[in-house]
Amino acid sequence: MAPLLHHTGVTLGTVEDAPPLPSRLRFLPLVAAAAVLVSGCSMSGIKFAHNGSGTSALAATSKVAEAADAAEAKDLLAGAGGVEVAAIDPGAGAADALAYAAPRDGQLDGLIVQYAALYQVPESLVRRVIVRESKYNPAARNGPYFGLMQIRHQTAQTMGYSGPASGLLDAETNLKYAVKYLRGAYLVARGNPDQAVRFYASGYYYDAKRMGLLKETGLR
C-alpha cells in the first residue's frame, strides 16, 4: 500500500495505519451527493431555518442522506431542531427533502403550492429550482435573470408577461410566469425532474419543436 504523504513531503504512514473514521463521518459523501442533487451544482443550495442551530440542521441533513425514501427523510427533518419542512411527496427521492429545509414563509409557501397546482408541476420540482436559482430570495438579481426563479424578462414575455423586468422581483409575478415556463420544461422532459431542471436552465424551444409541443408549452 502506498504511503500517505503530508504536503511537505514527509511520510505519515500507510492507509492501513490510519485510524477508522467515526461512524457519523462515513456518511459525509452521501450528504454531499444528496446536496448536489438538490442544488444542482453545490452545497450552497441547502437552506436551514433561522429558528434553530446550524449544528442540529447539519445533523438532520446527515440523517436525510441515510434515509431510504422521502417519507423517512421528512420525518427525520421534522424531528430535528432548527429545520422546518412542508409536505413532501412520499414518492419522491430522499434528496428532494433537502429542498424543504428552508426558512419558512407562510405566504410564499402558499404561492408555491398555488402555482405548482395551477400548472400541474410537482411542488418538489418548483422548490428544487427555487433553491438552485435564488435560495428562496425573491429579490435575487443576476444580470438578465430576475427573482425567485431567476427568469429572464424575454422568457417571461414569451409566457405572457407584459410588465417591466423589475416586476419579476415580485414573488407572485415571478412564480406565475416562471412556473409556467417550468411546466413546459417538465412536459418536454416527459416528466423527468432532472431533465426538466436542465431544460429550464438551458432552454427547450428546439426540443419542443422537434416533439411537436410548441403549442402545449406556450412557445407558440
- Give 51-72 pLDDT, tens digit per residue: 333 444 444 444 444 455 555 5
Domains within the chain, CATH numbers bracketed = 21-103 (no CATH), 105-220 (1.10.530.10)
Does 152 have pLDDT greater than 50? Answer: yes
Mean pLDDT computed over 190-213: 97
Does 43 have pLDDT greater than 90? Answer: no
Does 79 have pLDDT greater than 80? Answer: no
| Torsion of the alpha carbons at 88, 53, 80 and 115, rounded to the nearest 10 | -10
pLDDT tens digit sequence for 129-148:
999 999 999 999 999 999 99
Does 180 have pLDDT greater than 60? Answer: yes
Mean pLDDT score of the chain: 72
pLDDT computed for residue 37 by the predictor: 35
Verdict on whether the full-model pTM lies above 0.85:
no
Task: Name residue, grid cell 459523501.
Answer: 29
Choose among 74, 102, 105, 75: nearest CA to 88: 74
Which residues, 6+ apart, have CB-to-CB distance to 183 below 8 Å? Answer: 119, 120, 121, 217
In this structure, are strands 145-146 and 151-152 parallel, antiparallel, or unpaired? Answer: antiparallel
pLDDT computed for residue 220 by the predictor: 86
The 3 state secondary structure assigned to 54-67 is HHHHHHHHHHHHHC
Strands (E), the chain: 3-5, 11-14, 141-142, 145-146, 151-152
pLDDT computed for residue 25 by the predictor: 36
Q: Running DSSP on this structure, what letter comes out for residue 2?
A: P
Higher pLDDT, 203 or 57: 203
pLDDT computed for residue 100 by the predictor: 55
pLDDT computed for residue 173 by the predictor: 97
pLDDT tens digit sequence for 81-97:
434 444 445 555 555 55
Task: Name residue, grid cell 414569451.
Answer: 158
Q: Which range has highest mean pLDDT (5-14, 28-37, 88-97)?
A: 88-97
